């Protein structure tokens, strides 16, 4: 990955080929474990505005923000968004 450091960038904005396996993982999540597409987009919008997002990773917990946002039962470690029921 030769992308420069990018604050508040998601993985898809850095190097799509390098992170292809992350998106394959998200796509393979069983539907009952996945956030709705609307909730996923809402969560990522919040993450993009957060100062703790660096190169697609949350500086608070070390997760890939897109993976955490894709899982309906996970929540933001800073309380900015919660679990989806």
| pLDDT digit string, tens, across residues 14-49 | 666 667 888 899 999 999 999 999 999 999 999 999
pLDDT, average across residues 50-63 = 92
| Neighbouring C-alpha atoms within 13 Å toward the C-beta of 62 | 0
pLDDT, average across residues 40-69 = 94
**pLDDT at residue 13 greater than cutoff 80:** no
Question: DSSP states of the chain as a string?
Answer: --PPP-BT--GGGT-TTTTHHHHHHHHHS-GGGBPPHHHHHHHHHHHHT-TTEETTEETTT--BHHHHHHBTT---TTSSS----
**pLDDT at residue 10 greater than cutoff 80:** no
Average pLDDT over the chain reads 87
- 10 Å Cβ neighbour count for 74? 19
pLDDT of residue 1: 45
């Amino acid at each position: 990955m030769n992308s420069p450091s990018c604050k508040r960038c998601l993985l898809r904005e850095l190097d799509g080929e390098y992170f292809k396996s992350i998106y394959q993982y998200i796509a393979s999540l069983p539907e009952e474990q996945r956030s709705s597409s609307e909730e996923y987009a809402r969560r990522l919008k919040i993450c993009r505005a957060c100062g703790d997002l660096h190169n697609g990773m949350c500086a608070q917990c070390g997760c890939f923000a897109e993976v955490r946002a894709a899982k309906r039962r996970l929540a933001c470690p800073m309380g900015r968004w919660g679990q989806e029921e």
